Structures are given as structure tokens and as C-alpha cells.
Structure 1
Amino acid sequence: MDDLRNQSAFWSKLGFCYNPPRFGKDGRLIAFYDRESCIRYHRQMYDAGIRFHSSLLFSGWVADGVYDYTETDRTLEAIFSCGPDLRYLPRIKLDVPLNWGKNHPEDLLVYYDGPRDAENIRALVDTPRHDILGYDADGVFVPGFKDDRINRGGVISNQSFASEQWKRDASETLRRLIRHIEDGPWGDRIAGYHISYGICGETCMWGGFLGSCHYGDYGIRTREAFFDWGMREYGSLEALRRAWNAPDLSRGNIEPPAPDVREGFTEDPERFFRQAPEDRVCIDYEKFMNDRNADALETFGKVAKESSGGKPVGAFYGYYMNLPRSGCNGHLAYERILNSPYIDFIAAPAGYFRRGPGEPGGEQVCAQSINRKKLFLDELDNRTPLSADPIGRADTMEAAASVLWREFCKNMMYGSNFWWMDLHGGWFDSPEILNEIGRIEQIAEKIRRKTPEPVAEVLMVTDENGFYAIRPHRELHRSLLVDSPAEIRLCGTPVDHFRWHDLLEMEDLSRYRCIFFMNQFCISPEEWRKIRKKFRHDAHFCWHYAPGIRNPEFNLSNVADLCGMSLNEYELPGRELHGAGGNLPAAAVPSPEGADYPHFCIGRQPGMETLAVYDDACAAASVFHDGHWNTLIAEPVLTYPYYREIMKRAGVAFYAPENTAVYADNRFFAVFSREKMEFPLPAVVHEGDFECVSGKEVQNQYSRLKMEAQDARFFLHT
């Protein structure tokens, strides 16, 4: 694991082929990369000091039971030509070839509006009604490539994650490939194996990002496996029928719940929080999907470890911070994966929201939680000015440098590692950018030699199990787990992030003065009593939306039992929240578009202070003291001035003004500005510290820090 833990990596699209494999008129596998350009990019990064490299590597699985390693070997020869001591982490996709579906129609994923019998499924394989990408598109998007296959309106897709046949055949594919690599000339330079399958190779279920009719798997193997799972869970057919409100249920007639039953937007709190009798099967279906995905990951991880002599194995997983449908996509089995002996690292792309210059950045996963037991590898999918894709792009070299430093600092603070990603080719093909990366890598080497000690006094807590308690809702998810965390991180102080389950295992939480609970809808009072004792007596707890509303059953009174303040159902009369006095901003905070989820207001009571109100003056955020300070945010759309005020009341130490993101530990202090500003250097910066972005040592006269908009400063402590 030393390579993976202590060396930054570089990833290019070398080896990027059509998946599932398709062949051109010349009979060759369709590939989307320029071999010579990719070799040049890898050599550039090698010269910048990066010895750990990664890319896609074709599995060789060209047809059902047929293997050809011609393309595989071309990629291996190319990557190892880039440097004599280069180490390589291949990413291997294990999705089925197209003719596999013809031979195994029972093992394919079928959408809700697709056929239910094997012959009609078989008839659609490799036709326009076969969604081979897992999402609607006018073909594979690669700059410079024009796909001749439109991929829209499919009703079947590729392998079902519940298919045992797929796991057997993919395991054989993986076993053969690893032996081919390990027995070849470069086996001792392979650092580990990155297992990949599903949408974009990210272990997400086919169709999981699409509209409602593409939300789930209604194929033959999934229906059978779901029934079998239910029998194991409930012990008898009679108990299963009661639980799923299906008196005539059998293995022959089972049908997973329809998409609109699982997701349909509703402003009825009981339905939204899945309290109705018909909601039990929806919760179970998502738990089943998570079990199936975890089964596949562990199966392939075990094969890879056994075949490679125990080399590190990992996969993309755990995207609940960016993926509202994490339950159905199978990305919630954190405890199982983090405790698996067959998985060593988890990877994910950097968060795709709030990641531009001046923003705090973020992850799609709970990185610090992963790093407690495994290693998180952050895929830095951050576009530089050389990217043709404008989404999330830094348009100037100065802005790009700020983003590069921020992503580096974020990962150093959280104990993660990362790879610089060049998705479409040439993102770093500039002496200026390569020089900046070379400077970052020199600092990284120094930082990694020191033992980190955390300093954050602010903690953000999320709970993957909260997804089972609500219907997926894009706007609420964005407010709770994307925008609110970003605003919390813009308060000028470092912020830690762990899961609820971590708090049960961590012994000492006394460092934290202000704790933000983001989506704790299901809270066991016994667990909360254990956790609460670990915090300092004057800790300030800040709860979002409807904390503990299922305990275990839905009841609004559960919220008051948890935080001392009551929630009432509320029909949103306007779209804005307003500060309720003091130092809070007078400017209105709008609710998001499409906010058709249940809304709440806070019942007024003696001793309660209101921080924010709706247009009609009903309380939307309030503070109450019941032995501990509690803040309840009923409408989760507050901005950084509100959060900074809450932190200030908790006695949090600030390193920089509001509207800045700070990453820090005992080894460094880094600050990233959204606007032009000047402020005193914080006390953690001492004379002799080195400011790495400007290349200046801190002197006595260096008492104030001047920053431009979207600027970066990184102080390395001596």
C-alpha cells in the first residue's frame, strides 16, 4: 500500500476503449485515445516527479468465453515505456460483452418499462432498445470521436448486479487477466488493481442517473434474488407477505416496487419519510441492491487478491454526498466494505458541485471515514484552461493553480491520496501547469514525512442510512449534502467530516466545539446517549431539516425529544428566509427551485432564540439550550454568514475571514478566497514558515495577508 498511500498518481485516458467492447469496420476494438499523445502526457508527469501512474486497461473479454489481450498489451507496453521505475495501477472494467447478453438474457438488467421474459429480453440485445452505456446520450462523448450508435430510449441494459453468472464469468476474466499481467515482464511494477463495472465503471447500477422509468432493475435474476433475500430477512413466506403488504406474493410473481412508488415526489411527510405500509418493500429493495453490489465488490476483490499474491485492490464506491439515488445504486454498504478483507482502497471523483475557483471543493464520499479503516483515493477531475469542456473549468492559469493547491490541501488534511486526472487529453500539457504540479509534489513529499495531527474544531456528520428513510429528492439532497456543507466550509476554519457510525467507534470527540448533523433522520436514542457523552460539555449541536424523525417510526415529536425544539408541518408561503436580527445578514436566502418536499417550521417556546424566519415570520432556524446548545435548521438553505455566527457562539477559532475555505493540520495552513481581501495572519503561522504558492518565507513584517479573488495561500509549518 506504500505507493497508493504516499505517492500522488497521474491518470490519463490511455487504454480507454468502447465499453462494452465494440469493433470498427477494420475489426479492431474501438479505442478513444491517441497512444502517442498519452505516452507524452505520462512522460511529462513522470518528469514532474510523479512515479505512480494509472489508466484504463482492457480486460481482454471480447466475447462470451473469448479473450484477446492485444489491446491490453499495447497499453502495458505504452505505460511502461514512460519511465524505468514507474509503478502502475490498472483500472479494469468487468462489464459483459454484448453477445454475453444473447446467451444469458435472464442475467441482464431490465428497466421498469422493459420485457419480463427471457426471449423478449434476448431479442433486444445489441439493438437500439439496449442501453449499453447506462444513460441516455447521442453515443459515447469523447472529443474528436463521432459515435455511430445513438444510445437513447433503451429498456434493457447490461449485466444485473444480482447475476451469479456474471460474477462467475467476470471473476474468470479477472483471474485470467491478472495472471497474464503478473506472469509477464511488468508484474513486479503493478501497484494494485482497480476493479470497475457499471455506469462509467463507477459501480453504479445501469440507469441510476436517468429518469424514473430507468430507476431500478426488474430483470429475471433480480426478481428471483430479491424474493430470496426477503425470505432470509423475514424467515417465512407469511412474514414476508405481511412486511411487503403483498398477500399473494410468490417467487414466480414478485415485482420490485415501481419507480413512482419509490421516488415520487410528495409533500406528505409520512409518505416522504416512508412510513406507509407499502414503503417497507421500497426500503428493503434498496438494502437488497446494496447487498448485491457489495457482494460483487467482495467477490472480485477476493479474486484479485488471490490471483495477484495479495496486492491492494479497490473500486469506486460510496458516492452518497453527490448521488441522491445512492440507495438504489448500491453505494450505501459502507460498514461492509470498510470492514472487508478484500478491499483496500475506495476511490471517487472529486465532488462535481461547488468545485470551481474560489469554491471550497468537496468529495462525493465521506473521505475521513474511509481513511479510518481503508484509504481514499480522490480522482481530481478538475478542468484546467486547456480543457475543451467548460463545466467546472478554471479559465485562467492563476485560477487553475488555486484549484490544484486546494485539491492537494484538502486531501492532505483528510489523510487521503489522489491522482491528477486528464480525462480528455492535454489538461496539463503546459510548462506552467506542469511546473505548478512539480512544486506541489515537492511540498507533498515533505508533508507526507510528518505525522499529521488534526486541528479542526468543527465537525460535519452525515449518515448513509438516512437515505433509506426518505424518498430520493434531488433538490433536498443538494441542499443538505452539497450546498450546506460548502457553506459550512466557507467560514474560515477547517472542518472535519465523519459518519454517524464513526462517532460510535471514536473514543474522544472533545476537540469539536461545533457539530453539524446533516441528514440524521433515523437516530437511536441509545446511540445518541453514547455519542453525546464523548463531546465536550459546552459543545454546540446543529441539526438539519428533520433530525430523528424516524425513531424508529415516523413522528414529529421525535425531533423535540432529540433537540428540545418542536417541528410543525408548514406550507411554504414564500421562497425566502431572512435573518432574525443580531449579526445575521438581512439579505434573503431563497429556497431552491423544485422544493416539493415537506417543509417545516419550528414551534416557538420560552428560552428559544430565532436565527432565521420565513416571509411570514415563522421560525426556520432557532437555538435552544437544554444542557447543551442546540440549533435546529428546519429549512436547510442557510449561507456561510449564518453558519459562521453559529460557530462563533460555540467558541470556534477562525483562521481567516468568512467567504474563505481553510484546510489545515499541524503541518500546514492553507486558505482559499472567493473575493479580494486582506486580513491578519492567524496565530498558527510563525516566523520561518514557508508560503509555498508565492515562494516566500514568513518574516516579522509579514503580519497581514493580501489575497485576490479566487486566490490561494499555503503555509508550510517549520
Structure 2
Amino acid sequence: MDAPETENCTETITVMAELILPPWTPSGRQPVHLSAAGQKNGLALNINGSEKIKIAEIEVTGREVPAQGVTNAQIGYPNGQAAFILDNQVTTPLFWRYMILSDPERLYMTERYSDIKIHQFLLYGRLIDAAGSTNWSERFAELDRNIRTLLGVNPQALIVVLWLLNPTQQWLQENPDEMLITAFGKKEGVSFASEKYRRECLAFTQAVVEYLQQQPYWERIIGFHPWICGMPDCVTGGVADNLWQTDRSKITVGDFNPQAINMFRAFLRKRYGNDITKLREAWRKPDISFDTVMPDIKELTAPAADGGVFRDPAAGKMPFDYMDFIPTMLSSLLVEMCRLTKEMTGYTRINFVHYGFVDVQIQSYNLPGGMFNNNNFDLSELLRDPAIDGYIGAPSYSARLPGTPCLTYFPWTSFRLHGRMYLPDDDTRYYHCGTRNYGHNHSIRESRAITLRNLGADITRNFGSWFSDMSQGKGALAVSWTGEREVAELIGEMNRLYQKAQQVGYRSAAEIAVIFSADSPRYLDIFHGPTLANNLIQWMFYPEFFRLGAPFDVYLTSDLHHHDFPEQYKLYVMMNTFYLSETDRQRIDELKKNGATFLWFYAPGYIGDKGLDLRQIETMTGFKVECLPGKEKMCAVPTQHRLTEGLTEQYRLTASAFSHKNTRQMHADEFGPKFRIVDSAAETAACFADGKTALAVKDFGTWKSIYSIIPRLERSVLRNICRLAGVHLYTEAEDIIFDANQNFIVLHNGYQGSQEIDLAFPRPADVSDALSGEKLGSKINQLKIQIEECSTRILYLEY
């Protein structure tokens, strides 16, 4: 109806209007508010002293409520593909995650247009406070409002509850003895060894689970997510003062709180079986005891042998024991909280944690010594504990725009091997959201390309995901990231594809196994190590492997010992396996069979429990090697060889350097030791300026060995290595991001223009577009396919 004329009106006007409730109106009693705006300027009018007034309450008829919820929630891999198993019903391992109190509209839209029914709510901050447990009831009431609002809109919804237990500043001020203490006596954040802090974390965990168990919606709760961190997202912190520090004597690492020292002593008792003789021999300190042993900051930050990259365990194992200990302060508390929730629920709920960032922590630069405190290198220990089911962490923020791969910092195949699950924290900044940082999409086309790329990786690499809505505040920043229909429908389209993947079943198509060592980083010098690590990861693994045109699986060295470790691989890429234990060496030797090829970098096996030894490289790789004094900026000239086929005369194999001058001052591009291959029985593929071999191949009949002293190879050489190893290359297209398993291929193109791609399949297949269903070929070995710029295509293969 037309609004009545109100200007200069002195009479009472009655307005009759029909109220149509939106579909996301929660059931139950709901308030009705009146607000008004001026006809000419649109400004809010004052109504009885307020911009809006409550004029009525209405009863919204309840939606159909399910007879029961879920009594048993687990993760699993039925038919090989990752899944949540809820009372024996398989569902996709995908859920929504909200930052603040959630409005009904976004709760309705996300589920309505995606059919993803699992939602996570956060209890974020102020939980460990000087006021103790007095404000917990207020926070529980906040959580209760969220859950009841959700169930009022979507009665079928299921819930995961997250609680972040970082202490408030007031708590730290009132509990200074519970803080981390740096090597120089500065107090910085909480000490994860603090008995008081640990007690309060466990007390809150127990309280929130007990509260939820008492609610009528308890069977809608399927999981928990306890979260602690000294520095985002899951590390100890306490090393902020090291940023840009070039003076080794001013570097701090560790936690010198007396409680942390006592925890370290207990760690050593367990590691050395309470045998003081073993500890003294390992540390090269004849006078120490378990009751008095202390970390020594000078020894912890001492330079590496001969000023090179590697620290020598023969000089004493104190620094390495201490680095192994540091992450256990935080991780052991995570495990305790997860064990508590499992015990309280009879192991009928799923536990998630933020943990497992391995390859990004190996790179640690600009923060010398930061890798000591900021690492999750004990991940292999946690994977053995059944209290933790899912491991969550954001993909790389530097790879969010079209044309980049879905970069995860996790050894993703390790989780499946151990019966656990990795779930990326997918906090994509979609085209419409007000947050403009970290790869904000510029159009719905970009959002579609990135969403298909990410969820395609989830399917082909076999992990789950959550979708973050971090909108908050007012104005554009408050616009829901995932609650817009276009985004919810887009994710729903991929959810249906994930369901199809679960029905088809997961089979890895990888013939390449990439192996990372979580043990080797402890031996890297705090200044010289990052250049080596970044050559391997930031400048080779990330930009080259996802564009190879061949799928690969990613493991930790410790996974090689798992009884279910598959032996399907034709090429083992031993990424940073500088340290290898005796059992590691034996296990690797067992894999040297069936024509397998091993690719080694720089100093494979150089570090052993007894020290640095060139013979250990020779035994591991099968090449005769020598070590020269000094350091070098690595550069090698290719020879005529099948590994260098297709390279130009001007091409050089080089180690990269940091681009920022301040970073180069800390982490020089020259490093040592200088190794050379001096083996007349080897095939030389590249030589240093002194004429000695930098890249070589050796065929031992039952296995092949390829050794690159330069810790970075580009795609052209890596593809030649794949060919030599017999690895199938699906495509040799340039700048196409590639993921695949046995039944799905994901092709992602950035802004390099439209491309026609030649695909080759390992055997004849029926090929169709996985989303549209369009048939592309029957029983074909090859296919030409067009992929537009800024787009992702997903193919479905039936053999």
C-alpha cells in the first residue's frame, strides 16, 4: 500500500500492513519491532526516543523436529573416501564455521542451498580470565542462544563446539608466575607448562561438555574443538623479540619458567628411561643429573659446524632434546583435553584440533630461532593417539588468487594412513565480503574458480573442510561470507560432487611419494638453515610440484614405518631427509626394490645419531661424494642427458635466495658444506663451475638413485625425472594447477588466457565433466580440453 502523507500532519494515522515472515524466522516466540524512515531523506525516525520499538510478540509455528539426533559420531574412510560417520550414516566431512553470534538468515541460507547440515559455533576468548569461572555461565548462555537459533531455523542441524582458551591480559597480570619466561627473563604470554593454566583449561573443557550434556539438544552435538595457542594458530610463541634480529647472542628460544624446566626434566627421564648415564653420554656432560639439568641458551643458539647449515649431534644432544620437548608443552594439553571429552562421552563424539603445520614451520625465516618455539614437529606422536580425530589449519594465504594451487602446510596423506583426517580452514574471501585482505576475490567468476579448485583438492587429496564466515561488526564487514545464496549454492554443488566421490570410492592415483622429515629441522642453524629449507619448499615444492601434471602423496619420514604404508610408488622424493635414524635407513633400504626411483637433495642422511658423516650420504644414495671447505651460492650447468632434455643452452640449475635485502642479511644465499658427486659409475646431468658433478643418476638394477646437490629443481627437470622413473604424466601444460585421484582430475587455470590442454590417461577411460555430466569421450587414452582463464574444470573418469 502507498504510505500516507505525513508531512505537517497533526492527526493520528493508522497503518494496516500484512507481515510476511522470511523463511529463516526461528520457531518459538519472536519479538516484532517497529522502525521508520523519513520519506524525503531516508533517515531513521525517532519513535518514543528510540530508533525502533517493540510492538508485539508472535508465536512462530515450530518446524518439524527430528525424532532423535546423533548418538555416535566418528570420522572414517568407508569405501576409501573421507567421511563423517553419524550413527552409521555416511556424510560429507564438511561444515560451516561462524565467528560471532549468528543471525538466522545466514544459518538458513548456508544449509538450505548446500545441504551441509553441520555448523560450528565458537566460544572465543575471555574463558580463562582473572574472574575464574564466574563468567562461564554467561558464555554458555551465548552458546545456547546460538544453538537454539540454529535449531529454530534448521531443526535437522548438527553442531560442533569450539572453545579458544587463551588467557586474558588480566589473568596474566594476576598470575605472573604462570607466564612463559624468555632466556633473558622477559615474561611473554602464558607458559603451557603452567599447572594452574592447564587445570583451568581442563576445568572449562569439563564444564562446557557437562553443560551441553544437560541440554535437550545434546544429541545434535557431534564434536568438540578445544583450541590453545601462544601464537596463531597452534604454537608456543615467546620469540617475538627475535624478529629481524641478526645478533646471535640476543636470540631467545624456549621457556625458562621453572614449571617448564621441571616438565623438561620429566621429558628427559622418559626419553632416557631414567638412566642418567645415557643422558650424560648423549649430552657430553658428565656432571649433570635429572634433578638439576637445564637448557643452556648459548648452546641452544650456537652456530653450526664450520659455520655451515647443520649442527652436529656429536657435540652433544641437549639442543635437539630441547627442541623436541618444546611443542609437547602445548600438544600434551591438547591431548589431555581431547582425552577428557572422549572419556566424558564414551568416545561418541569427534575431536578436532588446530595442529600439524609442518612444512611451513620448516621454512621459518626472518624470526631466527622461531622454529624452536613455533613448531608442530611432534605431529607423528599425536597421530598415534585416538583422542584426536581431525586436524585443522588454514591453507597458504599467499595462494588464494586464481592461478595458484591449493597449498596446505600439512603432510596430508599421513592423516589418512593413521585413520585421522585433515580439514583445511577454508576462509576464502568471496567476491562480496567486506574483508579485502588475504586474496579477496574480485568477482563471482573468481569465487567459483577458487571454490572448485579448493574442494576439488579436498576430494582428490582425500580430506574434509570447514567453511569460515568471519564477518563481524557493521556495514560491509558484517555481510556474511558464506550466507549469500550464490556462495552457498556453489559449495552445495561441490558437496554433491563429494557425495558422488564417496559413492565411487577413493583410490590414490599417485605414483610419487613426497617425504618430509620432521626430525631434520632440529639440526638446522637458526640463520643458515632457512635458505636451504625455503629452496626445497617455498621455491620448489609449492610452485613446481602442483604444476607437474602428475598427482603425488605427502608423508612424514616416520610414516615409512607404518604397517599400512603403500608401496605403489615409482618415485620417492626425499625432500629434507638430512637426518635419518638407523631404523629409517633400514626401512628406506627395504623400499629400494621393484624399479623404484629415489630423488635426494643436498645432504640426504648426512646427519645420524653419532654425528655428521659423509659416508652416510654415500650409503643412502649409492654415490661416492666428497666435501669441500667453505660455502657457495649454488649454480650448475646442465650436460647432455635425459634429465636435462629440453633445456636451453643458457639454462642453469640454481639455488634461490631471499629477495628482501634485510632477509638476505639474516639468511645468506651462500651456504655449506659444499658437496660434490665424484662417482665414475654415475651418469652426470649437471656440473658445478669446478667441473664436478651436481646432479647425477645411478641405476642399481632393482632401484635407481637420482641425487641433486642443488636443493631446488624446476618443473622441466622434475618432469624428466618422472619420465625416467616411469611416472605417468597426465599433462605437460604450463601453469595449469593439477590434482587427481583414480576417478577425478582437477584442472585450474589462472589469468594466463584460455588454454587447450592435452590430457593423457594411464589407461582407456570413459571421461565426462564431473559437474555438468557432459560426456567427453568413451574408452579414450587422450583428450584435448579447453579451459578458460580464471576457471576450474573437474573431470570424472570411469575405467
2:403 equivalent to 1:328: no
8 Å Cα contact 1:456/1:496 also seen in 2: yes
Deviates more, 1:543-552 or 1:625-634: 625-634
Q: What secondary structure, in the 3-state scheme, does the structure 1 residue paired with 2:504 have? A: coil
The one-letter code sitting in structure 1 at the alignment partner of 2:306 is: D
Q: Distance in 2 between matches of 1:684 and 1:626?
A: 26
**1:130 corresponding residue in structure 2:** none
2:555 equivalent to 1:475: no
Note the C-alpha offset of 1:547. 0.6
Note the C-alpha offset of 1:319. 1.1
The one-letter code sitting in structure 1 at the alignment partner of 2:424 is: D
2:372 equivalent to 1:305: no
1:160-199 equivalences under 5 Å are: 160-199=191-230
Distance 1:263 1:349, change over 3 A: farther
Q: How many residues are matched? A: 656
8 Å Cα contact 1:542/1:632 also seen in 2: yes
Deviates more, 1:598-607 or 1:176-185: 598-607
- Measured against aligned partners, the alpha-carbon deviations of 1:674-708 in whole angstroms (never above 9, x if no partner) come to 54532334336977643145663325699411224
Structure 2 residue aligned with 1:70, among 127, 135, 138? 138
2:120 equivalent to 1:54: yes
The one-letter code sitting in structure 2 at the alignment partner of 1:410 is: A
Distance 1:410 1:579, change over 3 A: farther
Note the C-alpha offset of 1:204. 0.9
Structure 1 residue aligned with 2:700, among 626, 632, 638? 626
Q: What secondary structure, in the 3-state scheme, does the structure 2 residue paired with 1:63 have? A: coil
- Structure 2 gap segments, 5+ residues each: 1-73, 76-82, 86-90, 244-250, 363-369, 473-479, 659-666
Q: Distance in 2 between matches of 1:618 and 1:391?
A: 45
Q: What secondary structure, in the 3-state scheme, does the structure 1 residue paired with 2:325 have? A: helix
1:545-584 equivalences under 5 Å are: 545-552=602-609, 553-565=611-623, 566-569=625-628, 571=630, 573-574=632-633, 576-581=635-640, 582-584=644-646
Structure 1 residue aligned with 2:677, among 600, 603, 616? 603
Note the C-alpha offset of 1:386. 3.9
Note the C-alpha offset of 1:391. 3.0
Q: Distance in 2 between matches of 1:696 and 1:223?
A: 64
Structure 2 residue aligned with 1:44, among 97, 101, 109? 109
Note the C-alpha offset of 1:714. 0.4
Distance 1:618 1:591, change over 3 A: farther
**1:533 corresponding residue in structure 2:** 590
Q: What secondary structure, in the 3-state scheme, does the structure 2 residue paired with 1:698 have? A: strand
- Measured against aligned partners, the alpha-carbon deviations of 1:281-305 in whole angstroms (never above 9, x if no partner) come to 1111112223333321221112112
Distance 1:522 1:348, change over 3 A: same
Distance 1:429 1:303, change over 3 A: closer
**1:402 corresponding residue in structure 2:** 449
**1:96 corresponding residue in structure 2:** 167
Q: Distance in 2 between matches of 1:464 and 1:181?
A: 38
Q: What secondary structure, in the 3-state scheme, does the structure 2 residue paired with 1:680 have? A: strand
Structure 2 residue aligned with 1:691, among 769, 772, 787? 769
2:791 equivalent to 1:711: yes
Q: Distance in 1 between matches of 2:267 and 2:757?
A: 59
- Measured against aligned partners, the alpha-carbon deviations of 1:234-291 in whole angstroms (never above 9, x if no partner) come to 4366764564455665788754232x643566573677233352x5211111122233
Distance 1:446 1:475, change over 3 A: same
2:317 equivalent to 1:293: no
Q: Distance in 2 between matches of 1:685 and 1:408?
A: 25
**1:151 corresponding residue in structure 2:** none
Q: Distance in 1 between matches of 2:241 and 2:685?
A: 38
Deviates more, 1:66-75 or 1:357-366: 66-75
Note the C-alpha offset of 1:97. 3.9
2:754 equivalent to 1:669: no
Q: Distance in 1 between matches of 2:593 and 2:309?
A: 37
2:99 equivalent to 1:14: yes
**2:406 corresponding residue in structure 1:** 361
Q: Distance in 1 between matches of 2:269 and 2:783?
A: 68
Note the C-alpha offset of 1:199. 3.3
Distance 1:508 1:218, change over 3 A: closer
Note the C-alpha offset of 1:57. 1.7
**1:461 corresponding residue in structure 2:** 515
Q: Distance in 2 between matches of 1:526 and 1:251?
A: 27
Note the C-alpha offset of 1:337. 1.2
Q: Distance in 1 between matches of 2:628 and 2:490?
A: 53
**1:207 corresponding residue in structure 2:** 238
2:296 equivalent to 1:257: yes
Distance 1:251 1:98, change over 3 A: farther
Distance 1:414 1:63, change over 3 A: same
**2:68 corresponding residue in structure 1:** none
The one-letter code sitting in structure 1 at the alignment partner of 2:141 is: D
Note the C-alpha offset of 1:379. 1.3
Identity %: 19
The one-letter code sitting in structure 2 at the alignment partner of 1:606 is: S
Note the C-alpha offset of 1:332. 1.9
Distance 1:87 1:685, change over 3 A: farther
Deviates more, 1:568-577 or 1:507-516: 568-577
**2:487 corresponding residue in structure 1:** 433
2:543 equivalent to 1:543: no
**2:505 corresponding residue in structure 1:** 451
- Measured against aligned partners, the alpha-carbon deviations of 1:324-374 in whole angstroms (never above 9, x if no partner) come to 355533512233211213222222222345554222323222111112221
Note the C-alpha offset of 1:404. 1.7
8 Å Cα contact 2:631/2:671 also seen in 1: no
Q: Distance in 1 between matches of 2:588 and 2:310?
A: 28
The one-letter code sitting in structure 2 at the alignment partner of 1:603 is: I
Q: Distance in 2 between matches of 1:612 and 1:655?
A: 27
8 Å Cα contact 2:105/2:483 also seen in 1: no
8 Å Cα contact 2:417/2:564 also seen in 1: no
The one-letter code sitting in structure 2 at the alignment partner of 1:342 is: A
Note the C-alpha offset of 1:635. 1.9
Q: What secondary structure, in the 3-state scheme, does the structure 1 residue paired with 2:746 have? A: strand
Deviates more, 1:659-668 or 1:171-180: 659-668
Q: Distance in 2 between matches of 1:507 and 1:481?
A: 27
8 Å Cα contact 1:274/1:470 also seen in 2: no
Q: What secondary structure, in the 3-state scheme, does the structure 2 residue paired with 1:322 have? A: helix
Deviates more, 1:420-429 or 1:509-518: 420-429
**2:461 corresponding residue in structure 1:** 414
Q: What secondary structure, in the 3-state scheme, does the structure 1 residue paired with 2:747 have? A: strand
Q: What secondary structure, in the 3-state scheme, does the structure 1 residue paired with 2:505 have? A: coil
2:426 equivalent to 1:380: yes
How well do the aligned residues superpose, as a CA RMSD in angstroms? 3.2
Q: Distance in 2 between matches of 1:273 and 1:92?
A: 40
Note the C-alpha offset of 1:378. 1.8
Q: TM-score, normalised by structure 2?
A: 0.75
8 Å Cα contact 1:508/1:534 also seen in 2: no
The one-letter code sitting in structure 2 at the alignment partner of 1:54 is: Q
Distance 1:504 1:306, change over 3 A: closer
- Measured against aligned partners, the alpha-carbon deviations of 1:381-424 in whole angstroms (never above 9, x if no partner) come to 33333453433444443333222222212222232111122335
1:218-237 equivalences under 5 Å are: 218-234=256-272, 235=274
8 Å Cα contact 1:56/1:91 also seen in 2: yes
Q: Distance in 1 between matches of 2:747 and 2:718?
A: 18
2:643 equivalent to 1:585: no
